C-alpha cells in the first residue's frame, strides 16, 4: 500500500465520523472553544519575541543566506524588498515577484491562472497563492516541491513561462548596478559574494516579514471578546465539520494533503494538475482568504461559500448547506489580518553595463 493510499483511507475514516456528528455546530462557551480549537491543531501566529525566535529558527533550519548570519536587519529586509519589486529579475524587465503576488491585493493576483512571460498562462492553470504568511507554510508551491521561501523564490525567476530568466542573467544584472552591490555589502559585509542563491534568499528574508496577525490570533491567545458570537459559531462548525484535518496549524493550511478524498473535484480537468507523485496537494492557507479569490489550485471558484461546499463534498463526503457555508464564512472574517505597511521602493538605476531585456 502506498503512503498516499494509506493517507486517503485514514482521511476517509476520520472525516466520515465528522460527517455523521457535525450536521449542526453545537453551541459552546468561548474558553471551551479556544481549547477545542487548540486540540484540533489550530495555533495562534507567534508575535513579538516569539515571532523573532520563529524567524531565526526558520533562517537557521533552511540555511537562508548562508554562510552569512542574517538577523533580518533593516538593510537585509529593505534589500529583499527592492529585489521583490524589481522587474529586472525577469527576462523582459516587466515581471517582478509582486506581479503575481501583489502586496496590495492580498499577496495574490485576482486571476484564475498566473500569467507570465509573453502573456503565457501557467500550463497547468495554477493560481498564484498569497505570499502573506507564507513563512508558516511547511512547503511551498502547490506540489510542495520547495521546502522554504529561498528555494521558492528561485523557481519563478528561472521558469520559462513565468519570469523566464536564468540565474546567470540575473546575477549579471545585479552585479552591473553599483547601488545594488553596495546594498549587498551593507546587508552582509564588505566581503559578500553575490550569487543567485543569495539574491533569492534575500527576497525570502523580506517575505518573512509579511505576516498578518488577526483577531483570530487574539482569540486563541485568550481574548474571548476578539471574535463575535457569529464568528465563534463559524469556528466551532469549521472544527466540527472536519475542516481542520487539512487546514490546521498556524496558517490553517500550508502542508501537503490528500485531495479529492471522497470523490473527484468538479474542475479537475481544468489544467490537469495532479499534485505531487502521490497525488498530494498543498492545502492553501486560509488567512485573509476572503481577500484572495478565486479559490482552489486552478482558481475555479470566486464565491467562498461555493468553495466551502465543494470542499465538504470532495474532501469530507458531506453536503454543506448554504446556511452552514455562510456560518463558516463568518469565521473566515476573523482571519482577515493586519497587513504590514509596505512602501514601494525606489529601485537603483541600471547602468550602461546592465544587460538589456529580451522578449
Q: What share of the chain is helix, strand, coil (3-state, %, to 5)?
A: 45, 5, 50
Asked if 128 contacts 108 with a C-beta cutoff of 8 angstroms, the reply is yes
100 is in an annotated binding site: yes
Of 57, 78, 158, 162, the active-site residue reads 162
In the block, which residue shows the cell 546594498?
183
Q: What CA–CA distance (Å, rounded) separates 104 from 10?
A: 40
CA pseudo-torsion sign 163, 336, 36, 314: negative
The reply to whether 162 belongs to the active site is yes
Distance, in Å, from the CA atom of 65 to the CA atom of 299, rounded to the nearest integer, reads: 33
209/76 Cα distance (integer angstroms): 11
Question: Are 334 and 214 spatial neighbours (Cβ–Cβ below 8 Å)?
Answer: yes
97 is in an annotated binding site: yes
DSSP 342: -
Find the DSSP H helices in the chain. 3-21, 30-39, 49-62, 74-85, 97-100, 149-158, 167-175, 178-188, 196-207, 215-220, 229-240, 304-311, 322-333
Does 311 show up as a binding residue in the annotation? yes
Check whether 74 is labelled as a binding-site residue: no
Please tell me whether 101 is known to bind a ligand: yes
Judge whether 243 is annotated as a binding position: yes
What residues are labeled active site?
Answer: 162
Binding residues for heme c: 97, 100-101, 117, 243, 246-247, 311
**Sequence ranges of the binding site:** 97, 100-101, 117, 243, 246-247, 311
Amino acid at each position: 500500500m502506498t503512503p498516499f493510499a494509506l493517507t486517503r483511507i485514514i482521511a476517509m475514516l476520520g472525516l466520515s465520523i465528522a460527517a455523521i456528528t457535525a450536521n449542526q455546530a453545537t453551541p459552546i462557551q468561548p474558553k471551551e472553544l479556544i481549547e477545542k480549537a487548540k486540540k484540533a491543531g489550530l495555533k495562534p501566529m507567534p508575535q513579538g519575541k516569539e515571532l523573532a525566535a520563529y524567524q531565526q529558527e526558520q533562517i537557521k533550519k533552511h540555511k537562508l543566506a548562508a554562510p552569512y548570519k542574517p538577523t533580518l536587519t533593516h538593510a537585509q529586509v529593505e534589500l529583499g524588498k527592492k529585489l521583490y519589486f524589481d522587474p529586472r529579475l525577469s527576462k523582459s524587465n516587466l515581471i517582478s515577484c509582486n506581479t503575481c503576488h501583489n502586496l496590495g491585493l492580498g499577496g495574490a493576483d485576482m486571476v484564475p491562472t498566473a500569467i507570465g512571460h509573453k502573456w503565457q498562462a501557467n500550463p497547468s492553470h495554477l493560481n498564484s497563492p498569497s505570499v502573506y504568511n507564507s513563512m508558516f507554510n511547511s512547503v511551498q508551491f502547490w506540489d510542495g516541491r520547495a521546502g522554504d521561501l529561498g528555494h521558492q523564490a528561485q523557481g519563478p525567476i528561472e521558469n520559462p513561462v513565468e519570469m523566464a530568466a536564468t540565474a546567470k542573467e540575473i546575477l549579471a544584472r545585479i552585479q552591473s548596478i553599483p547601488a545594488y552591490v553596495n546594498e549587498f555589502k551593507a546587508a552582509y559585509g564588505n566581503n559578500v559574494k553575490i550569487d543567485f542563491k543569495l539574491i533569492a534568499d534575500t527576497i525570502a528574508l523580506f517575505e518573512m516579514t509579511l505576516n498578518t496577525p488577526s483577531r483570530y490570533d487574539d482569540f486563541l491567545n485568550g481574548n474571548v471578546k476578539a471574535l463575535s458570537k457569529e464568528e465563534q459559531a463559524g469556528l466551532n462548525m469549521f472544527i466540527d465539520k472536519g475542516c481542520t484535518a487539512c487546514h490546521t496549524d498556524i496558517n490553517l493550511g500550508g502542508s501537503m494533503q490528500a485531495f479529492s478524498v471522497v470523490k473527484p473535484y468538479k474542475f479537475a480537468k481544468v489544467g490537469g494538475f495532479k499534485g505531487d507523485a502521490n497525488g498530494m496537494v498543498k492545502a492553501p492557507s486560509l488567512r485573509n482568504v476572503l481577500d484572495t479569490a478565486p479559490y482552489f489550485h486552478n482558481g475555479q471558484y470566486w464565491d467562498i461559500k461555493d468553495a466551502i461546499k465543494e470542499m465538504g463534498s470532495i474532501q469530507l463526503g458531506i453536503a454543506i448547506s448554504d446556511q452552514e457555508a455562510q456560518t463558516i464564512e463568518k469565521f473566515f472574517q476573523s482571519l482577515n489580518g493586519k497587513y504590514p505597511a509596505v512602501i514601494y521602493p525606489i529601485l537603483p538605476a541600471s547602468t550602461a553595463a546592465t544587460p538589456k531585456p529580451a522578449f
